[in-house]
Amino acid sequence: MLPACVRSIGKTSPSNVKALGFLTGAKSSYATEVKFDTKPYRLHKLDQAPASTATLTKDDAIQYYTQMHTIRRMETSAGNLYKEKIIRGFCHLYSGQEAVAVGIKAALRPHDAVITAYRAHGWTHLMGVNHIGVLAELTGRQSGCARGKGGSMHMYCKNFYGGNGIVGAQVPLGVGIALGLKYQGTDGVCVALYGDGAANQGQVFEVYNMAKLWNLPCIFVCENNGYGMGTSAERASANTDYYTRGDYVPGLWVDGMDVLTVREAARYAVDFCASGKGPILLETATYRYSGHSMSDPGTSYRTRDEIQEVRQTRDPITSFKEKITSCNLVSAEELKKIDGQIKSAVDEATKVAKTDAEIGVEELTTDICANNLEPSIRNCSPFNSLPHQRLGPAVNL
């Protein structure tokens, strides 16, 4: 008899199942494809929900596990570097929220865009920056993805418009990116992520309206981790059903601790926007283990017991690990090997981030734009002083 979590394996013929070892009890054979039930969704102005089941291949299982575990390991390293005063300024960690980024990224196409807030290290890595590029940027070194100029809150790469330091400001920018994609005539979409605290910013409501008026391909993603800076969502928002707050923008509530549920919701959202139906709003219910930033211990407005309970019962990495190993999709030995490889890669990147050189002061004025299409505007350039202009005669008032 098949395990309860399995809905189909390959073609699911009796011979195929037996060959995989489920009927014989053999431990040396593993499934190559398994179906899991997704977590329930809540809908706002939508007639149909995303898929209630998610098919997971072994390759995808390994990829998602590797990505989530890598983000967790990198954030742990970042936290240690900050405590050692090697990372200075601000540092906002993503630990606990990995399933949101990994699940959404799994649904995106190469020509889709992403913009997020300052909790951006994990997204930066998923969008193509390697371990050294992220960690060296955090320490302000030349190997960083922005050559050390951006730091924790300003990282960029192709189709990734960075983390943004102003609360909620990335949401209007994301709508502008979506407008650009529509203007170019592609079916690309832009994912604009923000937190439950930023959801109360006035500019967010303004661009809900604009995106719906113009039917722009923007996926608004509210990462509701339960707390803003020093206070709970319930104390900051009269309406904590964030997926309904777009008014005429359709919304979807998603369990943000389950990577497969997030992936199916993101696939649904991408198809929705790419088909010309306009924007959609996803609320992903997730949790952050650290404080709002490194200056916030995160325990003055919530208990340590609460954090520990989430770690034990809802952690996105350990729950996914149990899911894929219990159904014989991936072996514990394989995951242990992956863990070791991730640790080695992050440890090596951490060494580079500590020892690499900083750029010289002569480069402070470089990297202002990728392609300067207007080097001179009204005979002025950034490198020349304003020309003196003859003014009219003074008027005595």
All domains in the chain, ordered by first residue: 40-359 (3.40.50.970), 360-396 (no CATH)
Residues above pLDDT 90, as percent of the chain: 75
Which of 85, 86, 72 is CA-nearest to residue 136? 86
The mean pLDDT of the chain is 89
Check residues 387 and 13 and name the one with the higher pLDDT: 387
CA distances from 366 to 107, 143, 201 (A): 35, 16, 33
CA dihedral 76, 78, 82, 86 (to 10 degrees): 140
pTM (2 decimals)? 0.87
Is the pLDDT score of 24 beyond 70?
no
Distance between CA atoms of 267 and 275, rounded to whole angstroms?
Answer: 12
Least confident of 15-19, 96-100, 201-205: 15-19
pLDDT digits (tens, 9 = 90+) for 342-375: 999 999 999 999 999 999 988 877 887 778 788 7
> According to the model, what pLDDT value does residue 294 have?
80
Residues above pLDDT 70, as percent of the chain: 89
> According to the model, what pLDDT value does residue 27 have?
44
Is the backbone of residue 96 left (phi > 0), alpha (psi -120 to 50) or beta? left
- pLDDT band with cut points at 50, 70 and 90 for residue 387: low
Is the pLDDT score of 240 beyond 90?
yes
Distance between CA atoms of 242 and 257, rounded to whole angstroms?
Answer: 17
386 contact partners, CB below 8 Å, separation of at least 6? 380
CA distances from 217 to 11, 33, 49, 178, 211 (A): 36, 32, 19, 5, 8
pLDDT digits (tens, 9 = 90+) for 124-138: 999 999 999 999 999
Distance between CA atoms of 172 and 210, rounded to whole angstroms?
Answer: 9
> According to the model, what pLDDT value does residue 390 have?
53
> According to the model, what pLDDT value does residue 14 have?
31
Distance between CA atoms of 12 and 76, rounded to whole angstroms?
Answer: 41
